[in-house]
């Protein structure tokens, strides 16, 4: 049975765990393997790991790190960063990763989605759309850590990528990244209305109320967050955290009742 998922998103740079604000000013917050061990103990629903430099630097995924993460991880794992070919996707899935996330490569070569879905199954293919709003409120997908414009609207692109075989769409708000100011529900609504596959929303979650608001709005949705699960308190002290299962399940159930 499908249910809402609450998903820590870990950003990796140079083998270390970092956190950004609006895709800039990465702050080192620890070791990704240690974070995975802590999340194992906290029984998280799913884990997303994104290498934020691989595509920008034009290099392949770090297979050793991926293998170490997959070996340690006791929950479903999604990995993205530097993936440009079906062969790479097969290799990553072969290492024990359940989902492979594509961003810049999906925009530059949409056929990769179709080829990959045919090879490993659409349930393993995730399209990540990094989105920024313009001054007039229009949304546009960006790639390469938010440095390259695509000229494409997220809802339309999400619809095309789903048709090609993407089994999940991740909507990531660049403007909300690291701000802990709440999800961009307007952006999420535009994409949700365009697709029928599972959707995960990333960027802006600052507390469990933000996650509850997302679930009340969309029901069965992935609520992903970075800062919420690596910082604690008003001074943003580094502390890997996740709500206890009883608290999480209670808040999710309440949000669904209030839809």
Q: Measured between alpha carbons, how far is 239 from 57 in angstroms, rounded to an integer?
A: 29
Choose, from 45, 51, 62, 130, the residue flagged as catalytic.
130
CB atoms within 10 A of CB 75: 17
pLDDT at 200 over 70: yes
For the stretch 63-102, pLDDT in tens is 999 999 999 999 999 999 999 999 999 999 999 999 999 9
Integer angstrom CA distances of residue 67 from 58, 77, 91 = 20, 11, 10
51 is catalytic: no
Distance between the two ends of the chain, CA-based, in angstroms?
18
207-231 average pLDDT score: 97
In the structure, what pLDDT confidence band is assigned to residue 141 with cuts at 50, 70 and 90? very high
In the structure, what pLDDT confidence band is assigned to residue 46 with cuts at 50, 70 and 90? very high
In the structure, what pLDDT confidence band is assigned to residue 2 with cuts at 50, 70 and 90? confident
In the structure, what pLDDT confidence band is assigned to residue 188 with cuts at 50, 70 and 90? very high
Q: Measured between alpha carbons, how far is 224 from 226 in angstroms, rounded to an integer?
A: 7
Provide the pLDDT for residue 167.
98
Residues 6 or more apart in contact with residue 244 via CB below 8 angstroms? 42
Indicate if the alpha-carbon torsion angle 64, 66, 67, 72 is positive or negative.
Answer: positive
Provide the pLDDT for residue 35.
97
Q: Measured between alpha carbons, how far is 247 from 188 in angstroms, rounded to an integer?
A: 25
| β-pair partners for 150 | none
Q: Measured between alpha carbons, how far is 206 from 15 in angstroms, rounded to an integer?
A: 26
Domain boundaries, the chain: 5-257
User: Can you state the percent helix, strand and coil of the chain, rounding each to 5?
Assistant: 35, 25, 35
219-243 average pLDDT score: 94
pLDDT at 29 over 70: yes
In the structure, what pLDDT confidence band is assigned to residue 1 with cuts at 50, 70 and 90? low
For the stretch 143-186, pLDDT in tens is 999 999 999 999 999 999 999 999 999 999 999 999 999 999 99
In the structure, what pLDDT confidence band is assigned to residue 103 with cuts at 50, 70 and 90? very high
Q: Measured between alpha carbons, how far is 42 from 203 in angstroms, rounded to an integer?
A: 22
209-222 average pLDDT score: 97
Three-state secondary structure call for residue 258: coil
In the structure, what pLDDT confidence band is assigned to residue 23 with cuts at 50, 70 and 90? very high
Q: Measured between alpha carbons, how far is 183 from 181 in angstroms, rounded to an integer?
A: 7
Is 5-257 a CATH 3.20.20.70 domain? yes
195 close to 169: Cβ distance less than 8 angstroms: yes
CB atoms within 10 A of CB 151: 6
215-230 average pLDDT score: 97
């Amino acid at each position: 049975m499908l249910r809402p998922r609450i998903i820590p998103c870990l950003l990796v740079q140079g083998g270390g765990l970092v956190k950004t604000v609006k895709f800039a000013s990465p702050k080192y917050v620890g070791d990704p393997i240690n974070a995975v061990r802590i999340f194992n103990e906290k029984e998280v629903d799913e884990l997303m790991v994104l290498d934020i430099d691989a595509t920008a630097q034009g290099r392949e995924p770090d297979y050793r790190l991926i293998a170490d993460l997959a070996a340690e991880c006791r929950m479903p794992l999604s990995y993205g960063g530097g993936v440009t070919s079906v062969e790479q996707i097969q290799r990553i899935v072969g290492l024990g990763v359940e989902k492979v996330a594509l961003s810049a490569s999906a925009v530059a070569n949409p056929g990769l989605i179709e080829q990959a879905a045919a090879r490993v199954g659409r349930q393993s293919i995730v399209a990540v759309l990094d989105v920024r709003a313009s001054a007039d409120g229009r949304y546009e997908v960006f790639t390469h850590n938010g440095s390259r414009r695509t000229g494409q609207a997220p809802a339309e692109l999400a619809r095309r990528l789903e048709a090609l075989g993407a089994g999940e769409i991740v909507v990531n708000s660049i403007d909300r990244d690291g701000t802990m100011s709440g999800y961009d529900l307007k952006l999420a609504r535009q994409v949700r209305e365009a697709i029928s596959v599972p959707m995960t929303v990333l960027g802006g979650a600052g507390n469990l109320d933000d996650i509850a608001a997302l679930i009340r709005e969309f029901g069965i949705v992935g609520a992903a967050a970075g800062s919420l699960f690596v910082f604690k308190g008003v001074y943003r002290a580094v502390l890997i955290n996740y709500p206890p299962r009883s608290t999480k399940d209670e808040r999710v159930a309440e949000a669904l009742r209030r839809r």
